[in-house]
Structure 1
Amino acid sequence: MWQLENIKSPIGNILLMHNGEVLAALDFEDHEGRMRKLADRYLSNPDFVRTKTRSTFGQALEAYFEGGVNMINGLTTIALGTAFQAKVWAALRTIPAGHTRSYAEIARQIGTPKG
């Protein structure tokens, strides 16, 4: 069962999709349809339930937006996307808070440089 959880943030209301163990998606609240479409594409027959109980994921994101930028580092996630997208997202998670990487650096890191 996938839980849909709303949190308020300084950038707008955010909707999380998780099953209590892994965070599968995060989007702005007004894009729930897009999130459900993604779940339908990559999960088999996903069932959803709205929850008002604050999860570990919701707590970590609230702490992140309050300045605890490292609070999201340990969250368990799954990548709902292509194999290439999963590689990119995994590489993005290795960037320390406050640092940046170019597209070229990420491409080299995942073994798909151009040129």
Structure 2
Amino acid sequence: MGKLSTHVLDITKGKPGVGVKLALYAVENDRKTLLKNAVTNSDGRCDEPLLSGDEVRAGKYELVFAAGDYFAAQGVDVPSPRFVDEVVIAFGIADPAQNYHVPLVVSPWAYSTYRGS
């Protein structure tokens, strides 16, 4: 069975984003269901997969990262309102048997993601 994981890279420092709060939602018919809250560890990753085994199901999901709060806690001078605040990554899982890794590469001014494994 597959798994879902994530990590955060703070490109202002070139280091893992430590202590970033995130939430995982399942999305069905425009309704979001909270599946898990987590906080990134010293490597910018979660201590365990967000989903694994039978928890991984085909469908639409959203990861919501509290990037603005993270940068504010780091003492980064950010405007009000923040340009990058909550980063929402909407993605789909087509094959629950595969591994899906959805990282966030972020600064106070930009972000990107990609599908890893």
TM-score, normalization by structure 1: 0.28
Query: Considering only CA atoms, is the larger Rg found in Structure 1 or Structure 2?
Result: 1
Give the structure with the larger helix fraction: 1
| Larger RCO (CA within 8 A; separation ≥ 6) | 2
Give the structure with the larger strand fraction: 2
